Structure 1
Amino acid sequence: MVQSRLTTGAMPVALAVVFALWTLYQGAAHARPAPDAAQPASAAQAAQAVPPVPAGGAPTVPSAPGAPAEDGRADDDTFMLLREAVRQNDAARANALASRLPDYPLASYVDYYRLKPRLRDATAEEVREVLRRHEGTAVAEQLRAEWLLELGRRRDWGNFERELGQLAGSNLQIRCYALLARASRGEQVAQEARALLLSPGNYGEPCAALIAQLAQSRQFSEDDLLWQLRLAGEANATGPARRTALLLGASDTRAAQAVDTPAVAMARGIGKTRAERAIYLVAVGRMARTSLKLATVALEKNSPQLSAEERAIGWASIAHAASIVLSPDAATYWQRTKGVPLTSEQMQWKTRIALRRGDWKTVRATIEAMPPPLRDENAWVYWLGRADKHDGRTTQANALFERVASPHHFYGQLALDELGRQVSAPPPVQPVSAAELAQAGANPSLQRALKFYALRLRAEGNREWNWGLRGMSERQLLAAGELARRNDLLDRMVETSMRTRTEVDYAQRFPAPHLDVLHPTAHGLGLDKAWVYGLIRQESRFILDARSGVGASGLMQVMPATGKWVAEKIGMNNFVHSMLNDLRTNITLGANYMNMVLENFNGDEVLATAAYNAGPSRARTWRGLLDAPMEGAIFVESIPFSETRGYVRNVLANATNYAAVFENKPQSIRTRLRPVQPRERAAVLP
């Protein structure tokens, strides 16, 4: 198995700067600050501290004076034990381990981990002391967010609002507590709450308490609570459904049954009150996800006992479920929802079904009815432009296309095509200078990130890395991207470079590593290497040892079962699962599988890309629902799985940019979005 080069035995480039700074601070007359609070060295000093990267290997970093490498590794082990003690909420062990790390490079995290297990019992002054000590760091921001949630739980609104500051617009639960604090003083916050409370699965106690407070103070009407119940049913969120039912004076047990076991809830009858009927409609909507026929029969049978609005709500849930499976009856069901407010998900699926039918009048009407944040998303701006174009409103259409036109994303490329323009690679930017690279290497947040990557703590490293990028200029971002490249962090290089707006470096945004391995493999199979790189960029962002939650491994994220199947097909008799993390094996198996799905779908990149992500059987099912050729972009827009829909968009947009680089000429994404044909091949892939 290929191991990451970012190990404690091969420290990242920028840590050399830490040791250079260590030397500068030795013998200083004043007290030395914590290692991760050190100020950046001058550009000239730091430039001398950043050695060149040896070809084919990680940089060599000298040990700190008086700190043997063995001691550093021992401290790393202690830090990892500290982190685990915190995960186990063992305050005593965390305190003991933290005491053994007085000068650790991640001093702010040592302080944070010492405090975190006992945050519920901590005083405000204890927390503020840690915040003051590490103000302006990512971990201080994380601690402040956790402290705000604790203060909200305590209903300590005085301290909560003193600490809130810039976190007022942060995560949903903190925002719920912020509104709850104001509502507790009698302020009118219902309108803000309605705009905020749209995802019940993420509510937790803070948003549940806010809804209860607004109901108690009559800022939320019965209609507001019924809307929340409807959202909870759509999101399969049992807890919020139960709590909302109680606020409506209905049975929380029955609400839970409506979400979890809808057949049982439906068998108990429709009920007499609005709340009971709403719970019944939740059950109908949940049943529609498994049996459209049973849900439809139940709604039609009980329609006489429902109001016109309630019937429309029921049909909206059924239409939504029918749309997700691309049922031919979905459009008919949507016609029965006229006049009723739709959820955001319902509006989007109603639009997708209208696109599949070529019903541009409904496309326009539904997009224009979307709330502004949703309506302004690239997808719906583009499709509204297409509706204008269909109606002959060329000026309006072109104005919408100009709003989203960009070579850097799927809808931007489609808009460019509508405007008669293509995707071209920009000219190379001025190379990052040694002074610019040194400044990036001296950034304390990036230093901490590199230390976390060396410890193989990618999540913490990404958080620190992103924190360090805040407020950077275009040139500073390019320098940070180069620092990432020199440390074999190509995912960070790509993500960092994507933040620039004027100085766009395609060498950073669309790298082509391991070309010596990939090119002969792709060429031998007749595969478009731009498509292969577009897929790799989306799958793993070039992380060699990437592993997904479902077990996909390596650069091309090959599943073990798929790897075994492909290995058998190509005669790789010695294959074992651990070989998926070997670069050459991963590319060989991944590229061969790409070729197999491409052949299975008659060379259609849209279907093949969808099949690579969701499996060939699902792609065949979606194709099998077609009775006529469908525009490729509309097929992509209506892929039922949101993950696969986004995946296909990104892979095709990536591939278009890679083609512009490899072929050195303008490209159109339309060449990869040919109409999807309904005919299937007989061959079957797993």
Structure 2
Amino acid sequence: MKSLLALITLGASLCAQAQIDLTQLREAARSRDLATLNQLAQNANGDVLEMYPRYYLLSAQINTLTEADVAPFLARYDGTPIAERLRADWLKELGKRQDWVSYDTEYPKLDSPSAELKCYAAQSAALRNDTGALAQARPLWFSARPLADACNPVFDTLFTRNVLTQDDAWTRIRMALNANRSDLARQLGARVGFPAELTAKSLARAANTPDKVFDAAADGRAAREMQLYAMQRLARKDADRAAQLFQSASINWPAADQRYGWQQLGLIAAKNHNDNASAWFERGGMAGLDEAGRFWAVRAALRVRDFKTVLARIDAMPADDLQLSVWRYWKAEALRAQGRGAEAQPLLLGLTDGDDFYALLAREEIGPVASEKPQHRRADATEQRTIEQVPGIRRALALYAQNWRVEGAREWAWALRGMNDGQMLAAATLADARGLYDRSIDTAERLKPLSDPTLRYPYPWRNVVTQAAQDQGLDPAWVYGLIRQESRFVPDIRSSAGAAGLMQLMPATAKWVAGKMGRKRFDLSEVTDISTNVSMGTFYLRYLLDRLDEHPVLVTAGYNAGPGRARNWQNNDALDAAIYIETIPFDETRNYVKKVLANAQHYGASFGSNTTLHQRLAAIPGKLVTPPQDNSLGGADGGDGN
């Protein structure tokens, strides 16, 4: 590796623009073409991105490297995301080699170690008999997901030393079953004596015919866990039947297991909008609920408009939960519903300085508030030129220039570390000027009181978007709000699910829309064209509006999760739109709808619109008055919630 070391230790100054062909680099890295990687590394000297081919050359040979090979790179590029990446790669290799002296030297320098690297650190601590450092690995055990093999010897040691106990083993088995990871639960059975209930056959029976698991009484911990698993499986299809069977089966159970069962039943039922969910949560109580459980206990009461219980459950939350705008708002609404408006007023007033969904609702409900007008501004040309010289910003711009967006975003985020407000404002303004709207939005969001609102809510291609919206009879502010959430104005972005373009159209949706629009020669490659994507996306929005009661809340939810789901989440009778939104069962879609509608309000303000958020939140009509619709298409962006 001597020639490589010579490359890395060269100290030439970096040139202003990247000359490296990143497409060639990516292909060479994928194929592990060492000759090409070596040539690219040699040619990169002095380039603003010189560390990238050198990283890939080192990474491709990580299992043959020595400390002398790696150290010069880490020293030369210390404090960059690519050095952090190589350090993580190298630590993983050192862990595999059991080279604990080198591992312990390098590990403290890593910014964000993975669970696997934490486990290697714990292995080293165990060999040093550092009980304090070893005990820090205990929280890693409590995961519903399988962990890296490096964690197994750590857990063996923790169990041997009684830092982890049989109760902890059962806790994780319960977590795995609750997450429907029966294979993991079966593997964990080794920690509790391989009970028959945790064999593959027994778990499959509980998953496929859950009601039959209740034929026999639960004798012992394993049998109870199996019946809890079966109850949860059944509840997803028939919560009332699951409640009936669980009530009979759990009469003689320990009180804690009974409470847990009712809590889980309440959680599943609440997500399915079963009117009994709140009562089942009441039987389980709030004690011991995790964050999701606490939040859904409130939502279950909210869905049936039991504001007394809403208030009691919010008041029972930990202090950190109570700082969230969502629960401050709903506490105020619960107080108002009980005729305690004077107590609600300070809560609403405290929300008005924000700009999220609930802050906007509170601002409209409380009316005009006298406050000092913020001094919004953009950075001037000199400030932008100065920030452009920051090495991390230069690397990010060079990466974006060749469409390495993931790496560019990572470099940009690292460059923002330690910046003051003025520097971040300059970075946001620079990104906006370069058309990197995802970076300008992300950066300006950190400076809400200072930055020009158009940095946070830009509206590029206004003529194209406005015309397409007007052609379909849509509010341009709403369309912009949706685009901002879907793509952050990156025209050629593609999601892992295959959605593409500004409005993130799935291939099937794009083909269907093209057919409806009479575009017989449509090719999927056209979907990232700005005009084509927006015209097709707005056509699809119009289609959804015509089938979902012309209601923007239903359409926004349907655009993300599919129109069939949006309609299934309706009540049989009319429902407050804010309650509908807060009780959407998918975290992704719930947050999406709030953000799109809040975005629409901010864009409306820029466009001079007088439409209020409350006007967008007209009551959601009941299912019984909603006409049948075509459910053959999912969400435009392929969203399916969690």
Q: Distance in 2 between matches of 1:123 and 1:375?
A: 51
SS at match of 2:621: coil
**Unmatched segments (≥5 aa) in structure 1:** 1-30, 39-48, 50-60, 65-71
2:30 aligned partner: 84
Mapped contact 2:553–2:577 kept (Cα < 8 A)? yes
Q: Distance in 1 between matches of 2:407 and 2:74?
A: 18
Mapped contact 1:611–1:617 kept (Cα < 8 A)? yes
TM-align CA RMSD: 3.7
Deviations 1:211-254 (A, max 9, x none): 54433322233333322222222223345424433222234982
Q: Distance in 1 between matches of 2:234 and 2:201?
A: 11
Equivalent residue letter for 2:479 = V
Q: Distance in 1 between matches of 2:315 and 2:506?
A: 42
Higher relative contact order (CA closer than 8 Å, sequence separation 6+): 1
Query: For 2:57, which of 114, 128, 135 is the aligned residue?
Result: 114
Identity of aligned residues (%): 35
Q: Distance in 2 between matches of 1:76 and 1:324?
A: 46
1:249 aligned partner: 193
Is 1:634 the counterpart of 2:579 in the alignment? yes
Q: Distance in 1 between matches of 2:111 and 2:342?
A: 40
Q: Distance in 2 between matches of 1:424 and 1:670?
A: 22
Q: Distance in 1 between matches of 2:45 and 2:451?
A: 42
Q: Distance in 2 between matches of 1:158 and 1:290?
A: 54
Is 1:577 the counterpart of 2:524 in the alignment? yes
Counterpart mapping for 1:29-40 below 5 A: 33-34=11-12
**Unmatched segments (≥5 aa) in structure 2:** 1-8, 632-642
Mapped contact 1:85–1:94 kept (Cα < 8 A)? no
1:143 aligned partner: 86
Give the CA deviation at 1:179: 6.2
Counterpart mapping for 1:118-517 below 5 A: 118-151=61-94, 159-165=102-108, 167=110, 171-174=114-117, 185=129, 187=131, 199-201=143-145, 203-205=147-149, 211-238=155-182, 240-251=184-195, 254=198, 262-263=206-207, 272-292=219-239, 295-296=242-243, 298-300=245-247, 302-304=249-251, 306-338=253-285, 341-390=288-337, 397-401=344-348, 404-421=351-368, 429-517=376-464
Mapped contact 2:335–2:344 kept (Cα < 8 A)? yes
Provide closer, same or farther for how the CA distance between residues 429 and 77 of structure 1 changes in structure 2, counting only shifts above 3 A. Answer: same
Q: Distance in 1 between matches of 2:575 and 2:501?
A: 34
Q: Distance in 2 between matches of 1:469 and 1:658?
A: 27
Mapped contact 1:413–1:422 kept (Cα < 8 A)? no
Equivalent residue letter for 1:80 = R
Mapped contact 1:601–1:681 kept (Cα < 8 A)? yes
The 10-residue stretch of structure 1 (282-291 or 253-262) with the greater mean CA deviation from structure 2: 253-262
Q: Distance in 1 between matches of 2:24 and 2:362?
A: 54
Equivalent residue letter for 2:25 = F
Counterpart mapping for 1:493-572 below 5 A: 493-572=440-519
Give the CA deviation at 1:460: 1.1
Give the CA deviation at 1:647: 0.8
Q: Distance in 2 between matches of 1:562 and 1:675?
A: 29
SS at match of 1:334: helix
Is 1:617 the counterpart of 2:580 in the alignment? no
Equivalent residue letter for 2:297 = K
Give the CA deviation at 1:190: 10
Give the CA deviation at 1:617: 1.1
Q: Distance in 1 between matches of 2:217 and 2:189?
A: 15
The 10-residue stretch of structure 1 (472-481 or 150-159) with the greater mean CA deviation from structure 2: 150-159
Mapped contact 2:464–2:531 kept (Cα < 8 A)? yes
Mapped contact 2:286–2:316 kept (Cα < 8 A)? no
Equivalent residue letter for 2:26 = M
Deviations 1:489-519 (A, max 9, x none): 2222211221214312112111111111122
Give the CA deviation at 1:540: 0.9
SS at match of 2:522: coil
Give the CA deviation at 1:323: 1.9
Equivalent residue letter for 2:582 = E
Provide closer, same or farther for how the CA distance between residues 428 and 537 of structure 1 changes in structure 2, counting only shifts above 3 A. Answer: farther
Mapped contact 2:505–2:527 kept (Cα < 8 A)? yes
Deviations 1:361-397 (A, max 9, x none): 4334434444555554432343334444545666764
Give the CA deviation at 1:462: 1.1
Give the CA deviation at 1:118: 3.8
Provide closer, same or farther for how the CA distance between residues 180 and 529 of structure 1 changes in structure 2, counting only shifts above 3 A. Answer: farther
Mapped contact 1:190–1:219 kept (Cα < 8 A)? no
Equivalent residue letter for 2:614 = R
Counterpart mapping for 1:59-70 below 5 A: none
Is 1:644 the counterpart of 2:622 in the alignment? no
Give the CA deviation at 1:333: 2.9
Equivalent residue letter for 1:672 = R
Provide closer, same or farther for how the CA distance between residues 257 and 137 of structure 1 changes in structure 2, counting only shifts above 3 A. Answer: farther
Query: For 1:658, which of 581, 603, 628 is the aligned residue?
Result: 603
Give the CA deviation at 1:274: 1.6
SS at match of 2:590: helix
Equivalent residue letter for 1:637 = E
1:681 aligned partner: 626
The 10-residue stretch of structure 1 (163-172 or 217-226) with the greater mean CA deviation from structure 2: 163-172
Deviations 1:183-212 (A, max 9, x none): 774536899767666652374345665554
Q: Distance in 1 between matches of 2:105 and 2:57?
A: 24
Deviations 1:405-435 (A, max 9, x none): 4443223323434543589997774442222
SS at match of 1:201: coil
Q: Distance in 1 between matches of 2:182 and 2:13?
A: 47
Q: Distance in 1 between matches of 2:138 and 2:328?
A: 24
Deviations 1:317-342 (A, max 9, x none): 33222222212332343233237622
1:24 aligned partner: none
Mapped contact 1:241–1:252 kept (Cα < 8 A)? no
Equivalent residue letter for 2:49 = L
Mapped contact 2:583–2:590 kept (Cα < 8 A)? yes
Length-normalised TM-score, structure 2 = 0.84
Provide closer, same or farther for how the CA distance between residues 430 and 319 of structure 1 changes in structure 2, counting only shifts above 3 A. Answer: closer
Equivalent residue letter for 1:217 = R
Length-normalised TM-score, structure 1 = 0.79
The 10-residue stretch of structure 1 (75-84 or 342-351) with the greater mean CA deviation from structure 2: 75-84
Equivalent residue letter for 1:620 = R
Mapped contact 1:556–1:587 kept (Cα < 8 A)? yes
Mapped contact 1:630–1:677 kept (Cα < 8 A)? yes
Provide closer, same or farther for how the CA distance between residues 579 and 255 of structure 1 changes in structure 2, counting only shifts above 3 A. Answer: same
Give the CA deviation at 1:649: 0.8
Equivalent residue letter for 1:641 = F
Q: Distance in 2 between matches of 1:437 and 1:419?
A: 39
Provide closer, same or farther for how the CA distance between residues 97 and 566 of structure 1 changes in structure 2, counting only shifts above 3 A. Answer: closer
